[in-house]
Structures are given as C-alpha cells and as structure tokens.
Structure 1
C-alpha cells in the first residue's frame, strides 16, 4: 500500500491535517508524512512513555475553534509496527451559529501490528452551536487503536441558552472496508439539556473505544475499563459488535471530571495491553 497519498475511499477531500507514522529499522516511530494546513499546526515530534519507540504529536488549532460552515478534515495513519499517539493542545470550542453547521471529519488507520492513540480534548458546544462529527477508523490484523470522543456544553453568558445540535458518528471497518461497528447519536440542544439527557448532574459526555481484533485483548480491556471507572459518575463498558474491541461510555458533571475518568481508563487499558 502506498503511504504518500490519501487512500481511495477515505471520505476526505484534501484534509487539512494529514499525518503518517512509520517504524524505522531501529524500532523508533517517526513522521514519514506531515502536512498541516490552516487551521492546524503540529508541534515537534515527542516520545511517549520514555521508551524512545512511541511517537507523540500534539495538534494545535490557530482558528480559535470551529465556526459556522467550517468543514475540517484530519487523516492519520500508523503503518505496520508503528506506535503513535495524537493529542490536541486544548478543547475545541464550537462557536455560536445562526443557521448552518460546522463539520468535522476524521479518518484514522492502524495497519498490521501498529498502535495508534487518537486522544483529543473534548469539543465544547456554545449556545446555538451545531456540529456534525464523523470518525472513520480502519483496523488491520494485530493492530490496536485507542479512540476518544467527548463533548460538553457551555454558556458564557450564563443565560441557560442551549447548544443547537450535535450529530456524531464513529464507524469501525476492517482492512477490506467491511463495517464492524458503528456508534451514532443525534442530540437537539433544546431537548437534551444537559448534554447526555440523563439528569441535571451530567453535563459532559464521552466515550473511549479500544479497537482490536484480538478477542482476549478486548475482554481484558472491558475488565480494565470497568475497574478504572467503578467510582465514576455514570459509566459502562462492554464488548463492541463485530469482534472489534471494547467500548466505554461516561457521563460526568463537567469536562474536567470527564477528562479525569477517561485518563484513568486510558492508563488502565495501556497497563494490560502490549
């Protein structure tokens, strides 16, 4: 497979962020392709875990968030044997809107025996904000992907004005393009206050997918996720359909509490995974 061009069927047209991680003969992971256009900026390559083999990148945005009619795309691939982690420098503000939507599209791929972590901070929906979010994950044999996706809402004027709408979806496919699992939800701000729609104590909503085709690893991930969030606010973990891993869902009173719960879950999964 060529890694110097965006694969066919990626669902993205010239994404503003395009990263490819490759494993060197030494075992270290490096960026073999890096293209970051507005609004994205990629900091220098860091090492994760002190091993010198895992690459860590922090993505920054110079736009101040997502605005009405924005259409942003990100594409990240870890080639065979690579070990990489992509994070964001801060939460993404989805600003107030008068009519349209902001659109975010992400495609991540972990090839054979690769490890790829996609761990952005939450998206914060301001009053009237409308966001569609699509994440497509491609999982090859022996690979593992940690995929976090979380949202909260905020009214700076404290007038109780809700966000507009949130339409979020995650699709997981194998290397042949076969759909293994899909998570999809749509929320209307006026009827879903607080975000998550369970009770007034929950204002933040997030999920963590541990994507793997190894059933034993998936079962171990469920156990570690349950243990890590046993005293979390409102959380549950289970196996994903299609034999593609485990899934944790968390509702929390605020974004800080949500982030703390997800961080604990991520650390727990890493402790039982190779």
Structure 2
C-alpha cells in the first residue's frame, strides 16, 4: 500500500475531504493529493517558510440531520502542515436523526501536522456523533483541537440533543495508545461540561508525540497556559503518546482565547515557531 493511501482499517470510503501533504526536494511542504467534494472547499495553499497551511471551507452552511461527512488528512515523512477551518461549524437543529462527522489523521516519521478547526456550534435538538481517529508514527508530531459550544438563535436557551465524541490514537502497527470519549445529553439539562450551567463551551487540545521529553514539555506548557482558566486541566496521555488539555469556558470567545494561548505555549516549548 502506498504511504499516502487510504487505510482499509479506517472505515472510510471516498471521504468528502482527502488531503495528503508531502515534503518536496526544496524542503517545502506541498499538497501531493487534494480531493474536496461537497460540502468542502479547499483554499489555496499558504506557505509559511517551509510549512504549509490550508484553510477548509464548507459550502453547506453546516451539518444537518442525517449528514455523514468524512475527512482524511495525511502528512508523509518530514512534511509540516496545518489545517484549519474558515469559521465555526453550525450543527443545525434536528427532529429525529443525527449527524456524523468522521476524521482520520495520520502523520509519518518526522512529520508535523496540526488539525485546528474552529468549534462546532450545537443548535437546539442537535444530535452529533463525532469521531477522530489518529495514526501516530515514530518521530511524528500531531496537534489537534476538538471543541464544542452551544447556541439557541431564538434566545430561548433550548438545549442541544446529544453529543457523542471520541478521539482514538493508535501507533503505526494499529495498537491503541489512548482513547478519549464522552457522551453528553443536552435534554437532561446538564451543560456541555456537565459541571455547571456557567459553562457553554467545551474544548480539548492534544499534542501527540512518541518522544517522552516532548510529551513532558508539552504537558508543562499546557498546564501553564491554563493557569488562569476558570475550569481546566492538563497532563500526560496514557500510552506515552503526548499531552492533553481539557477546558470548560463560559463562551466560545473565552474558549478560543485559552486554546490560542495553549497552542502558542506548546509551539514555543517545542520550538515549532
């Protein structure tokens, strides 16, 4: 199987978004494969030194009932890339079904891949199933954000329906290194964090690396970045695969500020620039 081919174990077929980043002879990273079907649109590749940055847009206006979207992103050996979204993703109100979002991320030896989408906004009655499956090769580093917030455009504070979110991290041979999963029932009246009604935004940031020293440095940077947060925690992941931060915030703006501070802290600690 080619290094940039879709893995059969990923459970994906013809993902709507399929990106592969490779390092060219000059040392710069470029898009060696790009496929974007509805609802995704990929903006032009933005160069930052030898690194590549891509902003993904959605033409659908968000996720709707019965949507099932797949995204697949690979960074081959020594590629350095960052994938972002142009704006938050609205998950629209639903009457019976749910929406599914599946992401498969893989970084090969020496690669650095950042997956940093804006939060998903859960409207009243929303039922969202979100899964992010990561394959982490030795020598690779991945930073990924997974964030959610709630909003009722009518101002009635009607809760979202349900959120089932999971992130799995596996090694190159398929062994499970870490699994983060939570299920929240909005109809119960519990907030996104499940702790207090003050918190309407919930986010996590993973810094994935098989280098123990890098993982410790990342954990320390995340701890320092969340010292002023109202409700947050950070530490090492199991399986010696990096560090993790989880934040509860009163609103999306506060969450994004904390995440931005944490991302900058990690980049500084790991000399990413």
Per the normalisation by structure 1, the TM-score is 0.97
Q: 1:190 aligns to what SS in structure 2? A: helix
Q: Residue 103 in 1 paired to residue 86 in 2?
A: no
- Cα distance between partner residues in 2 of 1:95 and 1:3: 37
Q: Contact conserved, 1:116 with 1:145, CA < 8 A, in 2?
A: yes
**Which residue of structure 2 lines up, in the alignment, with residue 202 of structure 1?**
199
Q: How far 1:195 sits from its partner (Å)? A: 1.1
Structure 1: gaps spanning 5 or more residues:
none
C-alpha separation between the residues in 1 aligned to 2:54 and 2:189?
A: 34
Q: Quote how far apart the aligned CAs of 1:10 are.
A: 1.6
State the match for 2:264 in structure 1: 267
Structure 2 residue aligned with 1:91: 88
CA deviation digits over 1:77-130, x for unaligned, max 9? 000000000000000000000000100000000000100000000000000010
Give 1:1-274 correspondences, 5 Å limit. 1-3=1-3, 5-48=5-48, 52-274=49-271
The Cα offsets for residues 1-25 of structure 1, whole Å up to 9 and x where unpaired, read as 5145312212211100000000011
CA distance in 2, matches of 1:3, 1:67: 34
Superimposed CA distance per residue, residues 148-176 of structure 1 (whole angstroms, 9 cap, x where no aligned partner):
00001101111121000000000000000
The whole-number CA distance in structure 2 between the counterparts of 1:165 and 1:171 is: 20
What SS does the corresponding residue of 1:68 show, helix, strand or coil?
coil
Q: Output one character per residue of 1:44-67: Cα deviation in whole Å (capped at 9) or x when no partner.
A: 00023xxx2110000000000000
Give the aligned length: 271
SS of the residue corresponding to residue 58 of structure 1 reads strand
Give 3-state SS (helix, strand or coil) of 1:227's partner. Answer: helix
Deviation at 1:228, TM superposition (A): 1.1
Q: Distance in 1 between matches of 2:204 and 2:54?
A: 21
Unaligned runs of 5+ in 2: none
Q: Is the 8 A contact 1:79 1:114 kept in 2?
A: yes
Cα offset for 1:200? 1.8
CA distance in 1, matches of 2:95, 2:175: 38
Question: Alignment partner of 1:81: what SS?
Answer: coil
Q: Distance in 1 between matches of 2:5 and 2:39?
A: 21
8 Å Cα contact 1:3/1:20 also seen in 2: no
Which range moves more in the overlay, 191-200 or 94-103?
191-200
State how far apart, in whole Å, the 1-side matches of 2:159 and 2:197 are. 13
Deviation at 1:197, TM superposition (A): 1.4
